[in-house]
Amino acid sequence: MSNEMYLEWYRQLVMIRRFEQKSSEMYQLGKIGGFLHLYIGQEAIAVGSVAARQENDHVITAYRDHAHALVVGIEPKLIMAEMFGKVTGVSKGKGGSMHLADVNRRFWGGYAVVGGHLPLATGLALAEQYKHTDSATLCYFGDGSTNIGYFHESLNLAGTWQLPVLFICENNQYGMGTAVARASAVTAIVDKAKAYGLPASQVDGMNVMKVYEATQKALAAIRAGEGPQFLEMITYRFEGHSMGDPLRYRSSEEVEKWREDDPIGILERHLLSEKLADKATLEQIDKSVEQELEAAVKFAEESPLPSADDLFAHIYVEA
């Protein structure tokens, strides 16, 4: 692993964290409306796994999608403008926080129906298999999604047809306010994947290096023709399910314990102790992220709202 790569991971982790803290501020000021689900605590998963992807691989996720949008390379200002409902947003101001997408980057979104995008991921993988390409599909979803029919149908078909898809479960311990054990008869999510014949393993989702290694291995297996793979990333969201969650279902001791494994802290400690970077270099990165975000908010504020005519544009795909 090169130094540049580690520093880029650090930059991405900090960018996601600060982007979301800024979004939360803008939400409280009433500048962002609708739903807003923060990914804070889970950043190492998007960063480490997307770093292992090939350019022609597809990425698809649920509504907790800001991080995935950032790491596939969408400019922060286009995402911020989208959250503000502005016409310059990456989805032209019509999608908002939960529906970020950029087809040119093979990033398909951003889906609000729990588990609803798993069949889409399976379909993307089927198309690539049909065309005999070496493209894989990375599909992200929460622990709660694994109790839904879509999950089981998708894994079954992927296993039956040996499709090139990597299922990445982001097990953050809760689906809204419901702990895994209260909604799932099987609490090790990997066991559900094994039931459909998929090689599956658990990964420390707070450690970007471990996420990267596991994803690289899984993608190599897919490209070697070994069929669909499954990774259960063990993680935690530090904030509420969405804005305004009173958090009555978990103790502050539990949150504090997980915060000791902050993904930014883990990478920072590694970089400093291995002398891969000094404090000044990291502070410089923090500062440049701050500047980029200030510009992103300014861009979003100054961009126009969509016009009334835009209501009827981009509803159907034109041939």
Ligand X SMILES: Cc1ncc(C[n+]2csc(CCOP(=O)(O)OP(=O)(O)O)c2C)c(N)n1
Binding site for Mg ion (CB under 5 A): 142-144, 172, 175
Q: Please choose which of Mg ion, ligand X, none residue 114 contacts, taking the beta carbon within 5 to 8 angstroms, the exact cut-off set by kind.
A: ligand X
Query: Interface with ligand X includes 172 (CB under 6 A)?
Result: yes
Nearest to 261 by CA among 208, 201, 213, 212: 208
Q: Under the phi-then-psi rule, with left for phi > 0, alpha for psi from -120 to 50, and beta for the rest, what region is 289?
A: alpha
Window 224-263: residues binding ligand X (CB under 6 A): 241
Give residue number: closest CB to ligand X.
Answer: 142
Q: Which is nearer to ligand X, 114 or 121 (CB)?
A: 114
Q: Which is nearer to Mg ion, 62 or 163 (CB)?
A: 62
Query: Interface with ligand X includes 145 (CB under 6 A)?
Result: yes
Number of residues lying near ligand X (CB under 6 A) = 14
Q: Which is nearer to ligand X, 15 or 114 (CB)?
A: 114
Q: Pick from 114, 124, 277, 297: which binds ligand X (CB under 6 A)?
A: 114
Cα 27 from Cα 92, distance rounded (Å): 19
Q: Which is nearer to ligand X, 9 or 39 (CB)?
A: 39
In sequence order, what DSSP letters do the residues of 80-148 get, joined into one string?
A: HHHHTT-TTSTTTTSS-TT---BGGGTB-----STTTTHHHHHHHHHHHHHTT----EEEEEEGGGGGS
Please, what is the minimum distance in Å from the beta carbon of residue 142 to ligand X? 2
Cα 181 from Cα 183, distance rounded (Å): 6
- Which of the ranges 97-105, 126-134, 138-146, 252-260 carries the binding residues for ligand X, by CB under 6 A? 138-146
Please, what is the minimum distance in Å from the beta carbon of residue 174 to Mg ion? 5
Q: Pick from 1, 5, 176, 220: which binds ligand X (CB under 6 A)?
A: 176
Give me 190's structure tokens: 């990997």
- Host H or E run for residue 159: helix 149-161
Query: Interface with ligand X includes 61 (CB under 6 A)?
Result: no
List Cβ neighbours of 23 (8 Å cut-off, separation of 6 or more): 32, 36, 38, 66, 80, 83, 97
List Cβ neighbours of 146 (8 Å cut-off, separation of 6 or more): 115, 169, 184, 189, 192
Which residues here bind ligand X, judged by CB under 6 A? 64, 112-114, 141-145, 172, 174-176, 241
